Amino acid sequence: MGIVSQEAILELQALMDSVEEPLNITFQNVHQGFRAETLVRFLKARDWNVAKAHKMLVDCLHWRVQNTIDDILAKPIVPIELYGAVRDSQLIGMSGYSREGLPVFAIGVGLSTFDKASVHYYVQSHIQINEYRDRVILPSASKKHGRPITTCIKVLDMTGLKLSALSKIKLLTIISTIDDLNYPEKTNTYYIVNAPYIFSACWKVVKPLLQERTRKKIQVLPGCGRDELLKIMDIASLPHFCRKDGSGSSRNSENENCFSLDHPFHQQLYNYIKQQSLITEPAQPIKQGSFHVDLPEPAAEETEIAKSLESELQKFEKGNMLSKSTDGIKIDDD
């Protein structure tokens, strides 16, 4: 790290030293003892501009206080049947760790339907996984390896990506905006696997709109990505959808499917949230209803990407309809 970077960190550190309650309390939940690494994340997200990084971090702390994010890990989604429905339609899980000790999160982009609950439940679940990662998983990994581990790896499964993705763009943009503003630079690398043709068409449109910093993190792997991913993780940590052979998807038990509520990660996460709920409100029954978070306005970049995706998917849909209409036309030879 260069002299300029060190100076930027010290300057931002001095600005954050003057932050008072309740912002400094929620800041502790953000940095988890890794203060310098946290400042670097926000500086990277604002191209090392100290004033902009400071504003971004303070805005993030205000968002946390206003939405009581510090309490979200004590707010289980109940009943369990509803949480199971969220898990079945918002496919995300943790399959293990890379050889460097980074948590590996798997996301079923193509097969997530987001149609079993309200937007607020999906946002709540997403933030809970973020907070559990940052407050439990990463500190534990750091302790185990004796060094700061503050980022993760994400493997995005595009299996089943269809034109119906058009209906999910708004929710995905909300979730992406929450991450960009409040959890910046938490992902070391994005690996995209099982990409159908429709993804390739969309990727050509989206790639030029991404910041260079983000583009460098994204790797589109051939097929299910098994061989490439085994270079950075053991087979036990490989997401289930990357364990395919030539004949198609391998069959997995619910224990191996990291999207499943029965997977150890989700069992540990849900039990942790229930336990925290009992600690904070021991005499109160667990309340039903979603944990409402103010939904952010997407940044200009996010809006442009969403519009470009919608346009490309609509073009793809028109092309499909035209193809189907001409399939039934018989052309007679003279």
Mean pLDDT of 117-143: 96
Mean of the per-residue pLDDT values of the chain = 88
Supply the pLDDT for residue 2: 61
| Chosen domain end from 66, 94, 116 | 66
* Sheet architecture: strand order including 152-157: 92-97, 103-108, 152-157, 187-193, 218-220
Residue 155 has pLDDT above 70, yes or no: yes
Query: Higher confidence at residue 14 or residue 168?
Result: 14
Q: Is residue 316 part of a domain?
A: no
Token pair for 294: 């103010």
Mean pLDDT of 5-22: 95
For residue 148, is the peptide bond before it cis, meaning its omega torsion is within 30 degrees of 0? no
Domain check: are 61 and 105 in the same one? Answer: no
Query: Higher confidence at residue 317 or residue 51?
Result: 51
Supply the pLDDT for residue 301: 78
Supply the pLDDT for residue 199: 87
Domain check: are 94 and 35 in the same one? Answer: no
Supply the pLDDT for residue 329: 44
Supply the pLDDT for residue 333: 46
pTM (two decimals): 0.89
Domain check: are 146 and 215 in the same one? Answer: yes
Positive or negative torsion for Cα 221, 218, 235, 231: positive
Q: Reduce the DSSP state of residue 281 to 3 states and report it.
A: coil
Confidence at 7, pLDDT banded by 50, 70, 90: very high
8 A C-beta contact, residue 64 and residue 26 = yes
Domain check: are 123 and 202 in the same one? Answer: yes
Residue 78 has pLDDT above 60, yes or no: yes
- Domain membership of residue 32 as a residue range: 1-66
Supply the pLDDT for residue 285: 60
CATH assignment of the domain containing 227? 3.40.525.10
Supply the pLDDT for residue 247: 34
Query: Higher confidence at residue 199 or residue 179?
Result: 179
Supply the pLDDT for residue 203: 87
Mean pLDDT of 297-316: 78
Residues 6+ away with beta carbon under 8 Å from 298: 173, 174, 176, 177, 306
CATH assignment of the domain containing 2? 1.10.8.20
Supply the pLDDT for residue 324: 53
Please give the tally of structural domains in the chain: 2
Give 227-274 pLDDT, tens digit per residue.
999 999 999 999 999 987 543 333 345 558 999 999 999 999 999 999
Domain check: are 164 and 271 in the same one? Answer: yes
